[in-house]
Amino acid sequence: MLLTVVIPAYNAAGHIEKALKSIFAGFDATSGWVLEVIVVDDGSADGEALARACAPFPGVRRLRHDQNHGMCAARNTGLKDSQGDFVTLLDSDDEFVADWFAAFRVIIVEWPESANVCFTPCINDAGEHTCARPSYKGWLTAEDMVLEHLSGEYNPIFRGDYIRRSGYADLGTRKSCGLLTYLRMTREAPFWITDKVQRLYHDTIEQSVTRGWTRPDKAAETYYCFSTVLEVHGAFIRDVSEGKYRQMYYKSLVYRMLALQGRNFAGWWRAFSFQSLKPWLATLLLLLIGPTGSVYLLNTAKRLSVLRRYG
């Protein structure tokens, strides 16, 4: 059996060695499994240094984009070129936990054959789980995703044939619009969630996608993501929960403002609903105090766990 790990890399020469070490340190070469590691250089300025960082690790294949196309494009390049019966991802600034491969072998035994995707929980640098229910093992439906019953930061494992056909929805942005892809996939077939941790998520380092989430450039990508999700999956989301649809729309208005694209009071007013009165009023407050005040208030709310840290 063959397992592929795909690592998108953009200006990652300074930290990818830790990611690669974690993969090979945890892999059991006597297990009968074959390991394939694909590093996709997404038009990095440090391409030569990245090649040198990868060179000591046997079996690492490097693919390269001539220009930077973003995380999903890099993922898709690696996924399409993969050969694995199973395929998983690792960001270049993260690591696998020490016993990741032993856990993986348990996961694939427990994983129902009808599920194309398995979500594995992560831990952060403090050893905390990055999902709402870390001990949960079972199904994740599209309805669960809309209702945010099992929210958090997960790492996916895919059945190889499925992900090579399916791929990620690519909006051309630097970070992934995971909700757009995963809603499509869960609407095709529910995901399986395991309680076995695979990934150490370094959310405190500067290049982490969760750092600086209120910056105008990152907010613009999130606004685009939410707007696209509402356009593509809006009818389904409304069927599941009108309240969740409105909450996502309110969030898109806030991210639009944080992206310095204006405060859409008209859109906010038109989206009034007694059933969603609290988020409607919270959105008004943020629109009134503007980008600078909202950044301070939102970051404070995350530090105090008033807002979710992940997912």
Angle at 105 between CA 99 and CA 108, to 5 degrees: 135
Q: What is the pLDDT of residue 235?
A: 98
Q: Using pLDDT thresholds of 50, 70 and 90, give the confidence band for residue 58.
A: confident
Contacts of 295 (CB under 8 A, 6+ apart): 214, 258
Say how many C-beta atoms besides its own lie within 10 A of residue 141's C-beta: 16
Whole-prediction pTM? 0.93
Q: What is the pLDDT of residue 78?
A: 97
Helix, coil or strand: residue 78: helix
pLDDT tens-digit profile of 115-129? 999 999 999 999 999
Strands (DSSP E) contained in 90-231 are 95-96, 117-124, 138-140, 154-159, 191-193, 199-201
> And the tokens for 50?
């990245």
Distances (CA, A) of 126 to 80, 204, 212, 241: 34, 10, 19, 35
Q: What is the pLDDT of residue 301?
A: 83
Q: Using pLDDT thresholds of 50, 70 and 90, give the confidence band for residue 304.
A: confident
Average pLDDT over residues 37-42: 96
Q: Which helix (H) or strand (E) holds 76?
A: helix 71-81
Q: Where in the chain are the domains?
A: 2-201, 216-303
Choose among 252, 250, 309: nearest CA to 284: 250
Average pLDDT over residues 178-185: 96
Residue 205 reports pLDDT greater than 70: no
- Radius of gyration in angstroms for the set of CA atoms belonging to the chain, rounded to a whole number: 20
- Class of CATH domain 2-201: alpha beta
